[in-house]
């Protein structure tokens, strides 16, 4: 289904509320046809505002939104082939499930017989067959959300927007719905744009993710790339857990940077392509994921090793987090798989070495 | 012995079991008596076979017959119902529109406008009455129109004081409306007008019914303002009753009042039934 043709182009869009609030700041994005795209960011970073501009409820202060090449910035929401699932679901309380789902077809003047067939199809798509006659107050939160989903899908939009659709559900149901949403998206082939502040949700569902901070897009990439090669400190910190170390550039030798860090010692690493070569003496940030550290064992030729001691640990079932303090007093988080003897062994050693491979050390600008 | 102790414990009223405390029961019964004893007396004495209507002299329906044959009373009755009906319809329309305006739009001097709208509620009725009379005389409102147009002045006065109540009730209801429902309707392709018809008005309905009920009863029993705006040909029921009572308190007045009470009760019951049905539909 997926190809590289953008179905939606957001180019240089800025949204200001009054003089002081810039909710969305010069955002440019291309959304490809048929993809599952996620807007991810902390609360208040402008995700909802961006989504509402795509839906047509807000008009951009600057920039343009193009749907299949045509500028829709000034088109009212009821004339856009884009539908939305609202954060509160906004199911019409005085209408039955059937009438809710049929509403969009009714106002479009679809013939009655056709409406019945389409509504039934949409309801079975979201597994609500047999609920048609119910009123929304006789439904659970999860079921109400399915009504909102069916109501939008029945219109066969070019793009479906979802604003934090899973945030009101409990953990178990949320996980089930994540799977179901991706399955649904693949089966209907409609482009989905989902807003979320839950990085796990974005990583597990989306084909591509845009990470936003304070109205700006910091990185747009596939989940694996975002996790393994974050392009800045903010993204690295926001996606998953990561250890950050300050380092000083000693000198640059072609593409190789010689760095000095009080936690990692002397490291030489290739400079990332996207980054301008830093001047000697400048500060940069190094980052290592907790699961890229190893405890004990033999150090390879290319490995960094850090002496330290375990100050604390937290048990998470499948894995544990160990908090290691190095000689300079930095706290480093190390994630280990829980084997039968792992913890007791780690508990014993008061002083130990942790290792990590050089290729797992990330250089972050800023 | 232990069983007995348990029973004593159960019989002591809990902290929230107010209905089981003697003192509160007495207050409850007392207030019911003070509220309804006069009304019940009025109804009972409408069947009294005595012209002076002070002591009970036996059952009769003749005063109902007399009231029905009293053309002046019937005319006043019809006038009152006409005024109440027309002013209710117009008050509900105006009130709903005002509520939507205040809820939906931002405009300069919104707070003063909102305050001014509530003025007819707080201004003493007597002042309203005098002001209305002065106003209609000043603009030379014609007094010699044929029925029902001669009721115009009273109807306008009634609309003036009852539509703010409707506006306030509907406005309070709209405050709890989820704006995302409106956006959802538009997102699904509904125009502004379709959204209003299919989403917002159904949501307002309980407020509209409550407002209509209030406007109707306010209009039906208004005396002061009506007194200043009515002429010799436009007598309403309360004014007619007042003039009859000044003569003498006959069971005829009781009979007419009883009929009015019955009509009000039926109307209220229908409105409450409508409201409970629509609140079953929505929230
Ligand atoms: N109508 C508005 N008027 C003024 N400021 C607004 C308006 N809507 C949003 N904002 C501001 O714009 C910023 C971005 O808001 P937005 O709702 O897009 O955040 P968000 O990323 O969706 O956050 P959350 O995850 O909490 O939903 C916030 O600082 C918010 O206060
Ligand atoms: Mg939001």
Is pLDDT at B6 greater than 70 in this prediction? no
Q: Decide: helix, strand or coil at residue B129.
A: helix
Q: How many residues does chain A have?
A: 366
Core vs surface per residue A105-124: b (16+ CB within 10 A) or e: bbbeebeeeebeebbeebbe
> How buried is A209 (Cβ within 10 angstroms: 0-12 exposed, 13-18 middle, 19+ buried)?
buried
Contacts of A159 in chain B (CB under 8 A): none
Cβ within 8 Å, pair A92-B194: no
pLDDT tens, A282-298?
A: 888 888 888 888 877 66
**Structure tokens of B120?**
């007819």
Q: Counting one residue from A and one from B, how many pairs have CB atoms under 8 Å apart?
A: 71
Contacts of B191 in chain A (CB under 8 A): 78, 107
Least confident of A46-50, A290-294, A340-344: A340-344
Interface test with B, best of A52, A89, A90 (most B CBs within 10 A): A90
pTM of the model: 0.80
Which residue on chain B is closest to A78 by alpha carbon? B189
Core vs surface per residue B67-95: b (16+ CB within 10 A) or e: beebeebebbbebbbbbbebbbebbbebb
Residue list, ligand 1 pocket, CB within 6 Å: A 17, 21, 23, 41, 43-49, 197
The whole-angstrom distance between B256's CA and the closest CA on chain A is: 41
| Distance (Å) from CA B204 to ligand 2 centroid | 28
> How buried is B226 (Cβ within 10 angstroms: 0-12 exposed, 13-18 middle, 19+ buried)?
buried
The band of A2, judged by pLDDT with boundaries at 50, 70 and 90, is very low
Which residue on chain A is closest to B179 by alpha carbon? A90
Q: Which residues contact A125 (CB under 8 A, 6 or more apart)?
A: A150, A153, A184, A187, A188
- Helix, strand, coil shares of chain A, percent, nearest 5, are 30, 35, 35
Contact A125, A188 (CB under 8 A): yes
DSSP 8-state code for residue B14 = P
Residues having C-beta closer than 5 Å to ion ligand 2: A 48
Share the mean pLDDT of chain A: 86
Which residue on chain B is closest to A110 by alpha carbon? B189
**Structure tokens of A361?**
């050390």
Q: What is the DSSP string of A272-320?
A: PTTSPPPPTT-EEEEEE-GGGEEESS---TTEEEEEEEEEEEEE-SSEE
Q: Which residues pair with A17 in a beta bridge?
A: A21
| Distance (Å) from CA B273 to ligand 1 centroid | 42
H/E element, A31: strand A21-32
- Residue A127, phi then psi, degrees to nearest 5: 60, 45
**Structure tokens of A144?**
């109400």
Q: A295 or B62: whose pLDDT is higher?
A: B62
Least confident of A114-123, A300-309, A338-347, B168-177: A338-347
CA distance B230 to B233: 8
Q: What percentage of chain A carries pLDDT values higher than 70?
A: 94
Interface test with B, best of A52, A78, A79 (most B CBs within 10 A): A78
Cβ within 8 Å, pair B180-A86: yes
Q: A321 or A93: whose pLDDT is higher?
A: A93
CA angle A74, A77, A83 (to 5 degrees): 130
Q: Which ligand is nearest to the CA of A43?
A: 1
| Distance (Å) from CA B239 to ligand 1 centroid | 59
Q: Decide: helix, strand or coil at residue A72.
A: coil
Strands A283-288 and A293-295: unpaired
**ipTM value greater than 0.95:** no
Specify the ligand 1 atom closest to the Cα of A51: 18
Interface of A with B (CB under 8 A): 55-57, 76-79, 82-84, 86-88, 90-94, 103-104, 107-108, 135, 137, 148, 151-152, 155
Average confidence (pLDDT) over A117-132 = 91
The band of A346, judged by pLDDT with boundaries at 50, 70 and 90, is low
For a substitution probing ligand 1, which of A23, A55, A213 has the most ligand atoms within 8 Å of its CB? A23
Cβ within 8 Å, pair B198-A135: no
The whole-angstrom distance between A94's CA and the closest CA on chain B is: 4
Specify the ligand 1 atom closest to the Cα of A195: 22
Q: Which of A239, A212, A237, A217 has its CA nearest to residue A43?
A: A212
Least confident of A206-215, A252-261, B197-206: A252-261
CA distance A321 to A336: 6
Average confidence (pLDDT) over B178-193 = 93
Q: How far is CA A187 from CA A1, A30, A173, in A?
A: 10, 22, 21
Is pLDDT at A148 greater than 90 in this prediction? yes
Q: A109 or A301: whose pLDDT is higher?
A: A109
Q: How many CB atoms lie within 10 A of CB B215?
A: 27
**Structure tokens of A332?**
């480093």
CA distance B255 to B236: 16
Interface test with B, best of A93, A152, A157 (most B CBs within 10 A): A93
Average confidence (pLDDT) over A182-201 = 91
Average confidence (pLDDT) over B247-263 = 85
CA atoms within 13 A on the CB side of A316: 11
DSSP 8-state code for residue A199 = H
């Amino acid at each position: 289904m997926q190809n590289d043709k953008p179905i939606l182009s957001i180019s240089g869009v800025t949204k200001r509320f009054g003089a002081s609030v810039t909710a969305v700041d010069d955002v440019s994005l291309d959304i490809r046809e048929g993809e599952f795209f996620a807007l991810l960011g902390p609360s208040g970073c402008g995700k909802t505002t961006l989504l509402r501009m795509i839906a047509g409820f807000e008009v951009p202060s600057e920039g343009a939104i193009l749907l299949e090449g045509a500028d829709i910035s000034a088109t009212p929401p009821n004339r856009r082939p884009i539908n939305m699932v609202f954060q509160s679901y906004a199911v019409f309380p005085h209408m039955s499930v059937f009438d809710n789902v049929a509403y969009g077809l009714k106002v479009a003047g679809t013939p009655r017989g056709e409406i019945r067939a389409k509504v039934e199809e949409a309801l079975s798509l979201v597994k609500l067959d047999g609920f048609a006659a119910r009123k929304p107050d006789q439904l659970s939160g999860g079921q109400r959300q399915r009504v909102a989903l069916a109501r939008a899908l029945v219109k066969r939009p070019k793009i479906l927007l979802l604003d934090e659709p899973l945030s009101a559900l409990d953990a178990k149901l949320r996980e089930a719905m994540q799977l179901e949403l991706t399955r649904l998206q693949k089966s209907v082939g409609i482009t989905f744009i989902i807003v979320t502040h839950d990085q796990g949700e974005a990583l597990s569902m989306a084909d591509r993710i845009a990470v936003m901070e304070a109205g700006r897009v910091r990185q747009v990439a596939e989940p694996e790339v975002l996790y393994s090669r974050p392009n800045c400190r903010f993204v690295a910190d926001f996606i998953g857990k990561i250890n950050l170390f300050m380092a000083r550039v000693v000198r640059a030798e072609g593409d190789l940077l010689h760095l000095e860090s009080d936690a990692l010692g002397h490291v030489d690493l290739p400079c990332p392509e996207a980054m301008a070569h830093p001047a000697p003496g400048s500060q940069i940030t190094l980052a290592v994921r907790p699961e890229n550290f190893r405890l004990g064992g033999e150090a390879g030729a290319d490995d960094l090793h850090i002496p330290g001691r375990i100050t604390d640990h937290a048990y998470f079932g499948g894995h544990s987090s160990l908090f290691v303090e190095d000689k300079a007093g930095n706290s480093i988080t190390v994630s280990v798989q829980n084997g039968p003897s792992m913890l007791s062994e780690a508990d014993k050693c008061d002083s130990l070495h942790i290792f990590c491979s050089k290729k797992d050390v990330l250089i972050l600008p800023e | 012995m232990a069983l007995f102790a348990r029973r004593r414990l159960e019989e002591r009223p809990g902290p929230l079991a107010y209905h089981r405390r003697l003192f509160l029961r007495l207050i409850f019964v007392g207030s019911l008596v003070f509220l309804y004893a006069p009304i019940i007396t009025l109804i009972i004495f409408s069947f009294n076979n005595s012209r002076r209507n002070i002591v009970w002299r036996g059952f009769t329906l003749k005063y109902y017959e007399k009231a029905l044959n009293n053309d002046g009373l019937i005319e006043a009755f019809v006038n009152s119902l006409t005024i109440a009906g027309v002013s209710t319809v117009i008050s509900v329309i105006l009130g709903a529109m005002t509520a939507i305006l205040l809820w939906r739009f931002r405009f300069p001097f919104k707070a003063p406008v909102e305050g001014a709208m509530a003025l007819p509620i707080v201004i003493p009725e007597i002042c309203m009455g005098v002001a209305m009379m002065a106003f209609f005389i000043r603009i030379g409102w014609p007094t010699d129109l044929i029925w029902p147009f001669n009721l115009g002045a009273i109807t306008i006065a009634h609309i003036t004081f009852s539509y703010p109540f409707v506006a306030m009730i509907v406005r309070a209801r709209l405050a709890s409306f989820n704006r995302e429902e409106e956006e959802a309707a538009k997102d699904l392709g509904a125009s502004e007008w379709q959204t209003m018809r299919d989403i917002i008005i159904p949501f307002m309905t309980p407020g509209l019914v409550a407002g209509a009920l209030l406007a109707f009863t306010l209009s039906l029993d208004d005396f002061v303002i009506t007194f200043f705006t009515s002429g010799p040909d436009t007598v309403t029921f309360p004014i007619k009753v007042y003039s009859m009572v000044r003569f003498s308190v006959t069971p005829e007045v009781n009979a007419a009042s009883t009929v009015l009470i019955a009509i009000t009760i039926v109307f209220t019951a229908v409105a409450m039934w409508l409201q409970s049905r629509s609140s079953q539909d929505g929230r």
